[in-house]
Amino acid sequence: MTLTFKELSFTKLKAAVKTAMAAGVQKHVLAGLPTGYKLEHVSVVLKAGSVIAEVTITPLAGSTAADLSVLVRSKRTSIETTVLAAVKAVPDIESAVADGKMLKDLTVKSSDPIVIIIAPKAKAATTSGAPTCTKMSALLALAGGSFMALAK
């Protein structure tokens, strides 16, 4: 899910404000999740475009991303409200308010969560005692062989 703060300017965010804002978003999104979720299940990346907080939530073991998406969608309004209050309380957040705006103008708009499924990486098969050939080493070996052929 993304949370957009139109009245803030990403280029005006100082490092300490950025860190505090991301931590506040993380903490308050976590507060809207069921018991069992921890801070490490929620990650936040701040991006330009006013200020966009891109929130990624990893489902608990035994839970599905689809179920989590439905839950987050149902709590969107309460998550927006608590996150907005947290961001307004970030020390020195006023310094990031867009020109012509005031902190009291600050609002947040969230998007529906998107489910992204990442397949686990397959392990490379190896023969006992044989070196493991990775994609990169195969490309390097191929490039080296081509170079040798061209050098003749």
48-57, 81-90, 126-135, 137-146 — which is least confidently predicted?
A: 137-146
Reported as a single tens digit per residue, the pLDDT across 21-49 is 999 999 999 999 999 999 999 999 999 99
The amino acid at 114? I
CA atoms within 13 A on the CB side of 5: 34
Q: Which helix (H) or strand (E) holds 3?
A: strand 2-5
Rounded to the nearest 10°, the torsion over CA 88, 74, 56, 115 is -150
- Residue 133: what pLDDT? 42
Reported as a single tens digit per residue, the pLDDT across 97-132 is 999 999 999 999 999 888 877 766 766 555 555 554
The amino acid at 73? R
The domain segmentation of the chain, as residue ranges, is 2-110
148 has a pLDDT exceeding 50: no
- Residue 136: what pLDDT? 37
Structure letter (DSSP) for residue 9: -
- Residue 115: what pLDDT? 82
- Residue 149: what pLDDT? 31
Tokens 């689809």 sit on residue: 66
- Residue 126: what pLDDT? 52
The amino acid at 4? T
